[in-house]
Structure formats: C-alpha cells, structure tokens
Amino acid sequence: MNTGSHMRVGLFVFDGAEELDVVGPYDVLSSWAQHSALRPEVVTFSADGAGVRCAKGLCLVPDRSADDVGPLHVLLYPGGQGTRALAADPEHLEWVRRMRATTPLLVSVCTGALVYAAAGLLAGRPATTHWAAFDELATFDPSVLADTEARFVDDGDVITSAGVSAGIDMALHLVARLESVDMARGVRRGIQYDPAPPV
C-alpha cells in the first residue's frame, strides 16, 4: 500500500463519540507529530465530513470525509453511545471491512471495539473494551477472547483499549511501537500524563 512519504493516522469521529476517547489519543498523537522526525500526519474525519456532536455535547469539525481521507497507516475508532447505531448499520460495517483491507493497523478505544466485533474483525482474537461493555462485546461476537483486566491489548494488526482514559495509555503505546519508547516517554512528559488516582 502506498500511503505517501510519511505515516498517516486517521481518527474517525461520529455523533455520540465519547469526548476523551477522541481528544485523549488525538492530543498524544498530535504531540508526537510535532516532535517526530517521522513527520506523522494526524487527521480527523467523519462519514460525510460534517461536524459531529459528541456524547456530552462537545462539537467537533473534522478535517475530512471518509471519501477523501485517503490511505491510512492507522485507523483509530473511538467509543461512545454512538457506536451502537454504527454497529447495527450494515453499510457502515462494510466500510469498516474495506478499511481493514487497506489499513495496516486498526485501533479502537472503549466501545469502538463493538463496531470492530460487529464487522467480524475480532473473531477469535484477544481484545478489550469498556468494563461495562463486555456483555455487549460477547453479543456481537462470542468468539472474542475478552481481556477484562488490560488497559489495552496489542494483537499485532489490531489494538483495542479499555474505556475512556485508557485510550491515552494505548496512544502512548502506539507512539512507542511506531517510533520508540523514548519518544513515547517524551510525549508523556510533554502532556504531563502521570496518573496517580486517589485510593
């Protein structure tokens, strides 16, 4: 696949996407793009290029539509309540399968995994999702090897992450995988991400 001279990461956005599922990884990946000699390009896109309203009301204006986003190295699919309608939409699932055929690495955050499962992309594979969505995941595909403990699961050409803030962890892992651990550590320091929740 020829995707041009540099790495391209596309974040698919849609009505009902969970805000942090989108902007958490976007901030990590955009910070990486600003400092990397690899010059990765990070773009957002919606089905038709129109703006979307996220789950809690944040409105986003994407860079592109699905038709003109072009070839990607990485497709990132966030979660949120909007995934339920998309997971039940045969045309959308066919689009996801077409993206699978041309995109080396598919990534999901939270209930984005439900759409991948509905499209048949997680059959017999280890995967994770939001802690409250494992029953739904099994409904879409009972063959998925659900990991209820991991923050993210890297299964080669598919990476799934647990809910919401876990997308940040996954995105940092993605930077380490695509470039280096040192770069991921630099991005983590730059965004001052050092979670230590109260006990």
User: CA-CA-CA-CA torsion for 163, 99, 106, 24, nearest 10 degrees?
Assistant: -50
Burial class (CB in 10 A: 0-12, 13-18, 19+), 11: buried
As annotated, the active-site residues are 110
Where would I find the beta strands (DSSP E) of the chain?
A: 8-12, 41-46, 52-53, 59-60, 64-65, 74-77, 105-109, 126-127, 145-146, 152-154, 158-161
